[in-house]
């Protein structure tokens, strides 16, 4: 272990007998590149139960000595360039969480199925074509994320009652062709995302999954075109009810009486039935299409002179250079749990599409509380002050220390079985000499990505116009993809709120004035209005306008976009 001088993190972990180690960021990447890989000294930390090595493009392999970390419970190797996982991974019997997302993996070792305590497996954003057979042996598995790969099918033993704890399956952006009728054996399944795959039909047994609360099948080309429209615009319950009915009015189990009746019918009866059915079918499709489409109007810059202006400084180039913003009008957050649903949806996007904020971060503000023009800048930590959500104004240095301590305490309370949300993204600023921030015209920091935004501009039930901000250190397209998904989700939630007809907290039945009711009805009919926002550099040169004509490319079947 002669190289410990170059790895003070490992040296301190040895001295302090630490059980957690995080290696991430530019400094770690430089040392891995210089040494031709991760130092073997890390594998001497036999007390570790949490290890994270992330965001190191020079890390292409993990040495087999990892087998000596026999107490390891959580292993995060995300956002590297790993081409393989050593087979000895199967010998770490204590492992509960394995995250190897955003790497260059083309295959997973079969030995992963030998991890009896594995409860969370994230292999998203790789180049996998299949999962190892025998996955059902991981009987404690409850969260599986295989999104953004080239997987064509689930393992043959996947639909097994042995996986009776599996509650979340995220498998969007793959090439999966079939969802087996045995899916009902996954008794605990609550969330199922198979959007953007190659499914052409759904099994009626899907409706037998009693705990299933959230499904996403968008982007699949179903034979049943009514079903295709429903998955793009309806809530889970409506989709499952339709499947339960067999689709097109066919019985779930195709009762014998129905088939027999069709067989014995002759002559004119046979001709009349299809004619009647086709007429009904056409009416149902037209009605469903109208129901499924959610209107979104785009307000051009030339039509919105009051749109916030944003200047991006050169300071953010090496910190978090990418930014996309827009204004959303017509989002109804006042009734019932509408605001709570929106915040939960934002959290879900952060966890999944934003990969726990590592690829992008969303911030939402009440437009009426913003002081434009805005500046997207990067400042020394000691010079950055913000009033975080639910806290008093504080310097970013002190805020980071406080959050780090809270994250550490949270992990200890959970016995380090899972990484906390706080800890996952605090590391993104490790080693940064400047911190990114969005500053208003009065010099107040209203956003400190990816950590928090300001309590001064937070949204509430009375917010009528939202300013949306997405930042990323990955790419501008990442910002746009996240913003696209957020807008689609907001349209869905707005529609859901309107259909529920919930009461507002501030009002009781019968107290609404005619003018209020008319205004609400008008907003519901108009749908969301998206106001374009432009970002420029310090010389005034255009950087990006969102949304542009090329944005929201996959929303055609879900939204009716009016420019």
Least confident of 148-162, 253-267, 324-338, 374-388: 253-267
Q: In sequence order, what DSSP letters do the residues of 465-531 get, joined into one string?
A: EEEEEEEESS-HHHHHHHHHHHHHHHHHHHHHHHHHTPPBTT--TT---HHHHHHHHHHHHH-EEEE
pLDDT class of 287 with cuts at 50, 70, 90:
low
Higher pLDDT, 254 or 34: 34
Counting residues of the chain whose pLDDT is more than 90, the rounded percentage is 49
The stretch 268-294 carries a mean pLDDT of 52
- Give the integer Cα–Cα distance in Å for 362 and 469: 6
The stretch 447-467 carries a mean pLDDT of 93
- The pLDDT value given to residue 379: 94
pTM for the model stands at 0.61
Say yes or no to pLDDT of 510 above 70.
no
CA distance from start to end of the chain: 63
Strands (DSSP E) contained in 339-431 are: 361-366, 374-379, 385-386, 394-395
pLDDT class of 262 with cuts at 50, 70, 90:
very low
Say yes or no to pLDDT of 236 above 90.
no
Say yes or no to pLDDT of 546 above 90.
yes
- The pLDDT value given to residue 279: 54
Least confident of 163-167, 238-242, 526-530: 526-530
Higher pLDDT, 519 or 392: 392
R_g (Cα) of the chain, nearest Å: 26
Tokens 């994250």 sit on residue? 407
* CA 479 remoteness from chain centre: 13
Say yes or no to pLDDT of 520 above 70.
no
- The pLDDT value given to residue 438: 96
- The pLDDT value given to residue 299: 85
pLDDT in tens, 417-431: 444 555 567 777 877
Q: In sequence order, what DSSP letters do the residues of 301-333 get, joined into one string?
A: GGG-TTSPEEEE-GGGTTT--EEEEEEEE----
- Residue pair 76/54 in contact (Cβ under 8 Å)? The answer is yes
Higher pLDDT, 416 or 484: 484
Higher pLDDT, 305 or 82: 82
Least confident of 171-180, 245-254, 432-441: 245-254
- The pLDDT value given to residue 261: 36
- Residue pair 229/292 in contact (Cβ under 8 Å)? The answer is yes
- The pLDDT value given to residue 439: 95
pLDDT in tens, 185-234: 999 999 899 999 999 999 999 999 988 988 989 899 999 988 988 888 77
The stretch 517-528 carries a mean pLDDT of 55
The stretch 468-479 carries a mean pLDDT of 89
The stretch 7-34 carries a mean pLDDT of 87
Say yes or no to pLDDT of 521 above 60.
no
pLDDT in tens, 386-398: 998 888 999 999 9
Counting residues of the chain whose pLDDT is more than 70, the rounded percentage is 83
Say yes or no to pLDDT of 71 above 50.
yes
Average pLDDT of every residue of the chain = 83
Say yes or no to pLDDT of 455 above 80.
yes
- The pLDDT value given to residue 265: 32
Q: Helix 338-351 vs helix 476-500: angle between axes, to the nearest 10 degrees?
A: 150
The stretch 96-108 carries a mean pLDDT of 94
* CA 550 remoteness from chain centre: 22
- The pLDDT value given to residue 1: 45
Least confident of 36-50, 117-131, 429-443, 543-557: 543-557
In angstroms, the Cα distances linking 424 to 118, 242, 243, 421 are 19, 39, 39, 5
Say yes or no to pLDDT of 324 above 60.
yes
């Amino acid at each position: 272990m002669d190289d410990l001088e170059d790895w003070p993190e490992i040296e301190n972990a040895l001295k302090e007998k630490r059980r957690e180690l995080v290696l991430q960021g530019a400094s770690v990447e430089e040392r891995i590149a210089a040494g031709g890989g991760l130092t073997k000294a890390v594998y001497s930390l036999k007390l570790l139960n949490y290890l994270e090595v992330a965001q190191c493009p020079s890390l292409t392999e993990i040495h087999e000595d990892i087998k000596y970390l026999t107490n390891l419970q959580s292993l995060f190797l995300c956002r590297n360039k790993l081409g393989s996982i050593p087979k000895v991974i199967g010998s770490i019997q204590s492992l509960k969480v394995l995250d190897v997302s955003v790497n260059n993996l083309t295959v997973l070792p079969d030995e992963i199925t030998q991890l009896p305590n594995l409860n969370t497996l994230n292999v998203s954003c790789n180049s996998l074509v299949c999962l190892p057979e025998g996955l059902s042996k991981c009987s404690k598995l409850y969260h599986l994320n295989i999104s953004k790969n080239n997987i064509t099918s689930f393992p043959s033993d996947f639909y097994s009652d042995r996986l009776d704890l599996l509650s979340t399956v995220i498998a969007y952006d793959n090439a999966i062709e079939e969802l087996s009728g045995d899916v009902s054996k996954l008794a605990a399944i609550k969330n199922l995302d198979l959007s953007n795959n190659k499914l052409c039909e759904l099994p009626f047994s899907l409706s037998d999954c009693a705990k299933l609360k959230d499904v996403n099948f968008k982007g699949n080309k179903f034979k049943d075109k009514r079903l295709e429209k429903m998955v793009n615009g309806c809530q889970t319950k409506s989709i499952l009810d339709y499947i339960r009915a067999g689709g097109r009015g066919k019985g779930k189990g195709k009762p014998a009486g129905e088939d027999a009746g069709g067989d014995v019918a002759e002559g004119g009866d046979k001709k009349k039935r299809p004619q009647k059915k086709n007429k009904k079918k056409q009416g149902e499709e037209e009605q469903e299409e109208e129901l499924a489409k959610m209107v979104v109007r785009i307000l051009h810059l030339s039509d919105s002179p009051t749109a916030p202006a944003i200047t991006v400084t050169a300071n953010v180039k090496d910190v978090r250079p990418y930014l996309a913003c827009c204004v959303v009008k017509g989002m109804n957050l006042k009734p019932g749990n509408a605001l709570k649903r929106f915040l939960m949806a934002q959290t879900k996007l952060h966890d999944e599409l934003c990969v726990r904020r590592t690829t992008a971060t969303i911030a939402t503000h009440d437009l009426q509380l913003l002081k434009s023009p805005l500046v997207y800048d990067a400042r020394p930590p000691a010079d950055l002050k913000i009033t975080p959500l639910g806290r008093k104004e504080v310097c970013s240095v002190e805020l980071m220390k406080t959050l780090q301590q809270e994250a550490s305490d949270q992990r200890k309370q959970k016995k380090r079985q899972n990484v906390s949300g706080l800890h996952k993204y605090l590391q993104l600023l490790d080693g940064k000499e400047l911190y990114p921030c969005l500053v208003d015209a009065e010099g107040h920091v209203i956003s400190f990505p990816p950590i928090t935004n300001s309590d001064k501009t937070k949204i509430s039930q009375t917010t009528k116009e939202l300013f949306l901000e997405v930042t990323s250190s990955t790419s501008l397209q990442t910002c746009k993809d996240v913003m696209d998904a957020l807008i689609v989700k907001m349209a869905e939630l707005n529609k859901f709120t309107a259909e529920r007809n919930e009461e507002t907290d501030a009002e009781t039945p019968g107290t609404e004035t005619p003018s209020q009711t008319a205004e609400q009805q008008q907003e519901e009919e108009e749908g969301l209005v998206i106001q374009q926002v432009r970002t420029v550099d310090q010389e005034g040169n255009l950087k990006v306008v969102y949304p542009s004509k090329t944005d929201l490319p996959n929303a055609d079947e879900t939204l009716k976009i009016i420019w």
